[in-house]
Each structure stands twice: as structure tokens, then as C-alpha cells.
Amino acid sequence: MAAEKIILGIDPGTTVMGFGIIKVVNKQMHFVQMNELMLKKYDDPYIKLKLIFERTLELIDTYHPDEIAIEAPFYGKNVQSMLKLGRAQGVAMAAGLSRQVPITEYMPKKIKMSITGNGNASKEQVAKMLQSVLKLKTLPKNLDSTDGLAAAVCHFYNEGKVELGKSYTGWEAFIKQNPDKLR
């Protein structure tokens, strides 16, 4: 691991995209920021995707992350929701890939397990653990930003372990690892 690096964590969504940034210095995590992109007021799904792409680029250009950790969509009962989440995730990934930032995706249970030790932890439990670990004075009202921060912290905790989520270093790597998605 480099002596210093920045990790951007993203919790993609078409209603709210949460994100958090940590800086790692000599294997120690330091909180940089967390926030969310509110998309509720936009009706057009394509405008939402454009805004996710632009905000992700803005974060990359401002903070210059060395790596991006992103929460993977999980299959629920609603296929339409999964499709929307997949699009939001894909747009955020495309922004990172366009700037050559390596991306690793993590399943929600993996993130929760890394933060709390319980893969079924609630958003509130994850937020409280992050507050303790990163010595945050307050927590945000909406917990989408702590979910984004949790992805970054999960990535820090899992660095160097053999079994990571899927990682991509650019478009060529993505294409090589996903030939079936190009049909």
C-alpha cells in the first residue's frame, strides 16, 4: 500500500447518491468528507444519470482519488429498481474509468460485514460504527452518505486480501473481464 492514498466510496442511487472520501496515511484512515447528491426533484431518469456522471467526475477532479470503492446493486424483489441502480452504478463507474481510476465493487453484505462484523447490520449500525472509528462529531440526517463512506472504509479494510470484489483499472480491463456484457 502506498504511504498515502485517497479512496472515494460511492453508494449509487437514482434518488440519492451517497459518497464518502477517506485519506489513508501510513495505514491510518482519516475522514475527508461525505455528502450526497439529491436527485429526487428530477423526473427525467436520463438527467439523473447525467448528474451522477458529472458529480462523480467533479469529485474525482477535486479530490484525485487513487481508488474508487462502489456498492454493487443487489437483487431484491423489484427488477425495475435493480435496473435503475445498475444504471446509476454503471454511470459512476464510467466516470471513474474515464479518469483511469481503479474501481472495486462490493456487495452490501460485504460492506456491512467489514464495518460492523454483521452482514445484516442496519444503516444506523453502520453509521454509528463509522462515527466511532473515524471520530465523527455528528452523523448526517440521511444515511446515504455514510453508506458511501462505508464503501471506502470497506475497501481500506479489505486491501491486500486476495478475495476482493471485482476490480477494473480502465475500459480495457472491464472489457476483458466482462466479454458477455458486450453483446
Do 150 and 115 form a contact (C-beta atoms < 8 A)?
Answer: yes
Contact yes or no for 95/37 (Cβ under 8 A): no
User: What Cα–Cα distance (Å) separates residue 93 from each residue in 55, 64, 89, 119?
Assistant: 12, 15, 6, 24
- Domains along the chain with CATH numbers: 4-177 (3.30.420.10)
pLDDT tens, N- to C-terminus, the chain (183 residues): 457 999 999 999 999 999 999 999 999 999 999 999 999 999 999 999 999 999 999 999 999 999 999 998 776 667 888 888 889 999 999 999 999 999 999 999 999 999 999 999 999 999 999 999 999 999 998 899 999 999 999 999 998 664 444 565 665 666 666 665 554
Residue with cell 454483521: 118
180 marked ligand binding residue: no
- At 158, list the grid cell: 479489505
44 is in an annotated binding site: no
Residue 11 annotated as binding?
yes
Residues 161, 98: Cα–Cα separation, whole Å: 26
Catalytic residue numbers read 11, 71, 144
* Positive/negative CA dihedral, 107, 112, 118, 122: negative
Q: Kindly report the CA angle at 100 between 113 and 169, in degrees rounded to 5?
A: 55
Q: What number of H helices and E strands is found in the chain? A: 6, 6
